[in-house]
Amino acid sequence: MFNIRTRIKELLSMEPQGQDITVMGWVRTFRNNQFIALNDGSTNNNLQVVLELGKFDEDTLKRITTSASLKVSGKLVASLGKGQKMDLQAETLEILGDSDSEVYPLQPKKHSLEFLREIAHLRFRTNTFGSVFRVRHALAFAVHQFFNEKGFVYMHTPIITASDAEGAGEMFKVTTLPFDQTPRNEDGTVNYSEDFFGRATNLTVSGQLEGELGATAFGEIYTFGPTFRAENSNTARHLAEFWMIEPEMAFFDLEDNMNLAEEFIRYIIKYVMEKNREDLEFLAQRLADEEKQLPQDKRSEMGLIEKLEFVLNNNFERLTYTDAIEILRESNHNKKKKFQYPITGWGMDLQSEHERYLVEKHFKKPVILYNYPAAIKAFYMRQNEDGKTVAAMDILAPGIGEIVGGSQREERFENLTARMKEMHIPEEELWWYLDTRRFGTVPHAGFGLGFERMVQFVTGMTNIRDVIAFPRTPKNAEF
């Protein structure tokens, strides 16, 4: 069988005692026609393969270039050199794939993240992106493990949908109609009855509404899938295609919702700290080196590992939107006009700079804001008794601001339909959603966590485009 091999991560934890070993991987460096640094993606650490001088012919040695792929068999022995505890003394070597070192863009040197985005198909081979994507994998696995342990049902909600759960209107249309001869109604609007689905459809912005249907049958469900926003936003925090985790729970109120979200965040961070410590330590050092280039006031107060441990060991601060507005309005930051968006008063939508001020400067810990003004929130959020606010909550994290958004859902039929009328959402479009309030309605709640923002938070990467394999952003759908 071809694939009888030992992964380098596993091999490096062994004691070298002359074992017969086969490894496969890609060449990082080759020096003195004798020492190969081999990597197979299981760890950032390379295995040193030692070639006995004169054992391999000149033509073979010339083909051992950066990123060539090799199969090597030999004996695992204690290393005589510094920097590694073991060597693989090569007995046989097979070149599986050549790599032209003259044109291969990833040379053994430091490359900028901007450059690496241009060659996203190769950037996984760098230490930084090796660590980022192993951490991303571990976080995704922990998400499923957390909800599975709690008895949640994993639900796949549709990618193509006719509803706009957020009411934002920033959606990608899905159509098979020809652009040059689009069928029109008499009033000039597009005649979607001739389209594939017979109506206007788009890529989903959220699986929440369908998730609520599942929760009112199974009790607790979660979704974990891609979502799309046609928002022309070229920032370090936005993507047009990203992954969302959206649990929905029957018989939950806002406080239950906040408790679950806080427990969930702690669980997945703890998991990755236990399973990917080596990658996190590498990323922590990378972040510390990057921040040395910044002025003192722009540097993080805590290192990456310290920040993650702080989240694990401290309860999140909980306060109402009203209290948050008061803190922001009275802050020296606001009085000295340091906010790009000044605090104008109750009812305004908080910007990322305000959220980060609360987390990083005022409380110095993650914050859960709740009871937001109804006017700035979606139609499905439960209206509070004060007539002004809704039972919504956001979790704010250091470095990136909002990481979770959720609410108790409006379970009262009359209140929900009245709110839909206010927001000009036609009942006939969501008849199926309203049925959950007609037939055995229950208090229920849920939240959405943007997975890439969580990966950003855990890895310390400052640009969201560096935590998803192939970022989709305005004017960019390469690879």
Residue type, 294: L
Q: Is residue 31 located within the same domain as residue 136?
A: no
Could you tell me if residue 177 is inside a domain? no
Residue 210 counted as domain residue: yes
Q: Please tell me whether residues 56 and 164 are part of one structural domain.
A: no
pLDDT digits (tens, 9 = 90+) for 451-462: 999 999 999 999
| Domain around 382 | 125-170+205-466
CA distance 69 to 65: 9
Mean pLDDT over the full length of the chain: 94
99 and 153 both lie in a single domain: no
Residue 98 lies in a domain: yes
- pLDDT value at 164 more than 80: no
- Whether residue 15 is predicted with pLDDT greater than 80 in this model: the reply is yes
Considering the domain boundaries, does residue 149 fall inside one?
yes
Task: Give the pLDDT mean for 161-165.
Answer: 80
Instruction: List, in sequence order, every residue forming a beta bridge with 20; answer none if it has no partner.
Output: 75
Long-range contacts of 238-242 (CB under 8 A, 24+ apart): 238/464, 238/473, 239/452, 239/464, 239/465, 239/468, 239/471, 239/472, 239/473, 240/172, 240/472, 240/473, 240/474, 241/468, 241/472, 242/450, 242/451, 242/452, 242/464, 242/468
Which strands sit side by side in the sheet containing 444-450, from one edge to the other? 153-154, 220-228, 241-250, 444-450, 401-409, 389-397, 367-373, 317-320
User: pTM score, two decimals?
Assistant: 0.94
52 with 138, same domain: the answer is: no
Residues 304 and 442 in one domain: yes
Whether residue 276 sits in one domain with residue 371: yes
Do 51 and 129 lie in one domain? The reply is no
Indicate if 82 and 136 belong to the same structural domain. no
Same domain, 314 and 427: yes
Q: Are residues 309 and 453 in the same domain?
A: yes
What would the pLDDT profile of 127-136 be if each residue is shown by its tens digit? 999 999 999 9
Both 396 and 281 in a single domain?
yes
Query: How many domains does the structure of the chain reveal?
Result: 2
| Domain harbouring 98, CATH code | 2.40.50.140
Residue 231 lies in a domain: yes
Nearest to 317 by CA among 347, 279, 277, 360: 360
